[in-house]
Amino acid sequence: MELKGLRGSATTRIDDKGRLKIPSIFRSVIQDRHGADVFVTSLTGECVLIYPLTEWVSLEQRLLDLPEQLPERLKFLELVNYFGQEGELDSQGRVLIPTLIRQEAAIAGDVRVYGRITHLEVWNATRVEARNTGNRWTREDGERLSEYTKRLSSPGSPGGSR
């Protein structure tokens, strides 16, 4: 079975009405697998998160498994609902980015869209270039990731094979 995740990145623009045209490398995956409904939000205000609504509902299902008064759960819900709103890809593959997120994340003009497997992340092009320049992959990063994936795949570990 082929995993059709959202991967890669592309540059695009936000139009004067605040609509993001989803790059074609992502649009077909979203529309073919999930339909046109999306949830647009942010956690930090630094970037925009766009989830196909089916992926967002799956995330909400996992949240239901957590204790209702868990502080991190409450904070997560507070932030995503503060910034968030449901949306829909129009016939041209555009989605409206809420004004609050556009202002907070300085999303206007040129933007960079990243695939994050289950959702998209949209960044101000200048801001993300500066961020990535100072955030190079290191050997230590690779070693930590390798150790973590080994633990996940070991028998008896959470998410591991049984």
Phi, psi for 114 (deg, rounded to 5) = -110, 135
Contacts of 121 (CB under 8 A, 6+ apart): 47, 48, 49, 50, 113, 114
Q: What is the pTM of this model?
A: 0.82
| CA–CA separation, 52 and 55 (whole Å) | 5
Which of 42-51, 69-78, 150-159 is predicted with the least confidence, judged by mean pLDDT? 150-159
Contacts of 99 (CB under 8 A, 6+ apart): 18
pLDDT, one tens digit per residue, over 91-111 is 999 999 999 999 999 999 999
CATH number of 9-153: 3.40.1550.20
